[in-house]
């Protein structure tokens, strides 16, 4: 077959010309890129990322309110259709964790869950660090952090494809959403309010008032051996809140009264009962 060279003479948009155009494109090596609508070629979110600084390195905050946030997908191994997502937030200093479920990853829904999580925590948020997902990198979240409040939240993002930049919340993704709700698919929108009722109530109380964890205090370099990590004594998020001088005494007394009224064994029994209801409702659409 004769090789077609030079400028393509075909400008017709009819379907009959498409095979010839493809053959000409293949002979030339590549097609001329399509012009985006409005004459712009910038990908969505590229300019917005310039307004959100990158936070790299380890946290050194000694007061509560500096948090990492991420989303966990309850897709069951398939990305077909919409499914529930869990917004997971952890405070660096106290290790206090809040979780909220939403159907899909809409920007408005993400803001609503962030707002609800901050309301239920015993301290005011000072900073949020997220990955580069579209549920976080958008004007709605940025406006809520900077404009729709008296004290702006310092909003940062991690480096692309560096999951270890959000190591704290990545760890909590396993110990909290995955541990309690597993990997099965949840795509029934009616399940999200049930999950949120549980995470605001018994589950949130159990993991924050009664479940202890250790925090890394420092790393020591020793000659001839790998880096040595020193951890502090195990403590609950509740204990770390009481030990912070940056939290009001009234809030501490409120937490003391709440914990005194709770029984961890009764909480766990109620959690398991509600989890069964959630799984049963989730299978109702199958």
The predicted-structure confidence for 35-83, as pLDDT tens digits, reads as follows 444 443 334 456 677 778 887 666 767 889 999 999 999 998 887 888 9
Identify whether the C-beta of residue 206 lies closer than 8 Å to the C-beta of residue 267: yes
- In the chain, the domains with their CATH numbers are 49-285 (3.30.420.10)
Exposure class string for 89-112: b at 16+ Cβ within 10 A, else e? bbbbbbbbbbbbbbbebbeebbbb
Structure confidence by residue, pLDDT tens digits, 92-148 = 999 999 999 999 989 999 999 999 999 999 999 999 999 888 899 999 999 999 887
Q: Where are the alpha helices (DSSP H) in the chain?
A: 18-28, 46-49, 107-120, 139-146, 167-173, 179-181, 191-200, 202-209, 237-242, 249-260, 264-282
Structure confidence by residue, pLDDT tens digits, 169-228 = 888 999 999 999 999 899 889 999 999 999 999 999 999 999 999 888 887 877 777 778
pTM for this predicted structure: 0.78
């Amino acid at each position: 077959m004769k090789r077609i060279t030079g400028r393509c003479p075909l400008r017709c948009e009819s379907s009959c010309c498409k095979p010839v155009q493809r053959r000409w494109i293949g002979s030339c090596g590549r097609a001329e890129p399509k012009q985006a609508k409005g004459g712009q070629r910038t990908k969505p979110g590229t300019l917005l990322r310039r307004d959100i600084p990158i936070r790299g390195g380890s946290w050194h905050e000694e007061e509560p309110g500096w948090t990492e946030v991420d989303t966990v997908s309850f897709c069951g191994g398939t990305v077909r259709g919409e499914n529930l997502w869990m917004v997971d937030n952890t405070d660096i200093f106290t290790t206090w964790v809040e979780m909220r479920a939403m159907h899909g990853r809409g920007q408005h829904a993400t803001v609503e869950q962030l707002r609800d999580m901050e309301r239920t925590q015993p301290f005011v948020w000072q900073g949020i660090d997220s990955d580069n997902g579209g549920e976080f990198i958008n004007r709605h979240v940025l406006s809520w952090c900077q404009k729709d409040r008296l004290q702006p939240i310092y909003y940062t993002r991690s480096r692309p494809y560096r999951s270890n930049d959000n190591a704290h919340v990545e760890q909590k993704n396993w110990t909290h959403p995955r541990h309690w709700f597993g990997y099965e698919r949840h795509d029934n929108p009616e399940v999200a309010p049930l999950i949120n009722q549980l995470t605001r109530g018994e589950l949130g109380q159990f993991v924050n008032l009664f479940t202890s964890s250790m925090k890394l205090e420092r790393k020591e370099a020793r000659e001839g051996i790998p880096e040595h990590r020193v951890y502090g004594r195990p403590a609950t998020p509740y204990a770390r809140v009481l030990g912070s001088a940056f939290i009001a005494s009234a809030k501490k007394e409120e937490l003391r009264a709440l914990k005194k009224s709770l029984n961890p064994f009764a909480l766990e029994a109620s959690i398991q009962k509600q989890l069964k209801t959630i799984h049963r409702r989730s299978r109702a659409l199958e």
